[in-house]
């Protein structure tokens, strides 16, 4: 895979799943990598694999909810490599629970990581991306940033917010003639640890949720997801749909408008374990 030789890319949540696959694919295409995660074991594995490819790597513990640390980190990445071209705001968590039984603190936690983590990363890196003269912000939303389903209100809120933030930002960069491209990424079910690591409202069985996700919903490998995302980045796409499930469901949502809710609720009710 070509196209990123000489570029410096920062990837959050790079210790697992899509983030790890993105880092590896970027390295194979010639980029230097700044990888971060709170999962230090996974991060060390990614670092080792990047070095085996021969990539330049800077590896750091970074919690994307810690705004000041994120800002310092972006400055350090710039200092280390001399420039930064791309930020992949990928770190995220899953959460399942109906609204009436979900604690405020759980909704806030999901927003903190899945939405504010993206805002923190975007704002920390944007001055450096502008200064690079060839920047790209890649924000990972979800298929659930395009359609909502029962049991996912917190996650849907964060992912819809990421989409709105990213789509406005893309237009701003164009209008302001800044040299920064912006892409919103919407994966369907990807075979990662996300559901196994996911949180649930009290009383909701996390094991049952992840079993259904792993067996029935996750269909695309992280490597394939990374290839699709980087293809979209290379083509400067505004929106990247990852996986056939995302492509088909996005189409149904666009055709039916709000009608998709009536179509999907009974189907989801049949395949998903209870979220209350």
Ligand X SMILES: NC(=O)c1ccc[n+]([C@@H]2O[C@H](COP(=O)([O-])OP(=O)(O)OC[C@H]3O[C@@H](n4cnc5c(N)ncnc54)[C@H](O)[C@@H]3O)[C@@H](O)[C@H]2O)c1
Catalytic position from the list 73, 88, 155, 260: 155
- Measured from the CB of residue 136, what is the shortest distance to ligand X in angstroms? 17
Cα separation, 87 vs 135, whole angstroms: 8
Q: Which of residues 129-148 bind ligand X (CB under 6 A)?
A: 140, 142-143
- Tell me if 141 sits within 8 A of 163, measured CB to CB: yes
Collapse the DSSP code of 202 into the 3-class scheme (helix H, G, I; strand E, B; otherwise coil) and give the result. Answer: coil
What is the size of the binding site for ligand X (CB under 6 A)? 32
Helix (H) or strand (E) holding 240: strand 239-242
- Measured from the CB of residue 24, what is the shortest distance to ligand X in angstroms? 13
89: how many CB neighbours lie within 10 A of its CB? 29
197: contact with ligand X by CB under 6 A: yes
Respond yes or no: is residue 155 known to be catalytic: yes
Nearest to 96 by CA among 162, 150, 163: 150
Question: Binding residue for ligand X (CB under 6 A) from 148, 190, 199, 229?
Answer: 190
The residue (of 78 and 186) whose beta carbon lies closer to ligand X is 186
Nearest to 45 by CA among 67, 21, 63, 28: 21
The residue (of 57 and 62) whose beta carbon lies closer to ligand X is 62
151: contact with ligand X by CB under 6 A: no
φ, ψ of residue 118 in degrees (nearest 5): -70, -40
φ, ψ of residue 196 in degrees (nearest 5): -65, -35
113: contact with ligand X by CB under 6 A: yes
- Tell me if 66 sits within 8 A of 91, measured CB to CB: no
187: contact with ligand X by CB under 6 A: yes
- Measured from the CB of residue 22, what is the shortest distance to ligand X in angstroms? 9
Kindly list the catalytic residues.
155
Binding site for ligand X (CB under 6 A): 12-13, 15-19, 37-39, 42, 62-65, 90-93, 113, 117, 140, 142-143, 187, 189-190, 192-194, 197, 218
């Amino acid at each position: 895979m070509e196209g990123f030789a000489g570029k410096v890319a920062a990837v959050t949540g790079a210790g697992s799943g899509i983030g790890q696959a993105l880092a590896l694919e970027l390295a194979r295409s010639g980029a230097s990598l700044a990888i971060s995660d709170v999962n230090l074991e996974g991060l060390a594995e990614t670092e080792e694999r990047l070095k085996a490819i021969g990539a330049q790597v800077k590896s750091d513990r970074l919690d994307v909810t810690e705004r000041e640390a994120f800002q310092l980190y972006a400055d350090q990445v710039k200092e280390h490599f001399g420039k930064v071209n791309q930020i992949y705001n990928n770190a995220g968590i899953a959460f399942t629970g109906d609204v009436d039984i979900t604690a405020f603190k759980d909704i806030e936690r999901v927003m903190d990581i899945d939405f504010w983590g993206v805002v923190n990363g975007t704002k920390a890196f944007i001055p450096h991306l502008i200064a690079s003269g060839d920047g790209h912000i890649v924000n990972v939303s979800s298929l659930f940033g395009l359609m909502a389903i029962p049991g996912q209100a917190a996650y849907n809120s964060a992912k819809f917010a990421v989409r709105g933030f990213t789509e406005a930002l893309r237009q701003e960069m164009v209008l302001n003639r800044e040299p920064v491209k912006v892409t919103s990424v919407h994966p369907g079910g990807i075979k990662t640890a996300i559901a196994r690591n996911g949180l649930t409202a009290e009383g909701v069985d996390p094991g049952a949720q992840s079993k259904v996700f792993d067996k029935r919903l996750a269909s695309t490998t992280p490597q394939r997801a990374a290839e699709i995302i980087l293809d979209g980045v290379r083509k400067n796409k505004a929106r990247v749909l990852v996986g056939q499930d995302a492509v088909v469901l996005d189409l149904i949502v666009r055709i039916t408008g709000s009608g998709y809710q009536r179509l999907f609720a009974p189907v989801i009710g049949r395949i998903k374990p209870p979220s209350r």
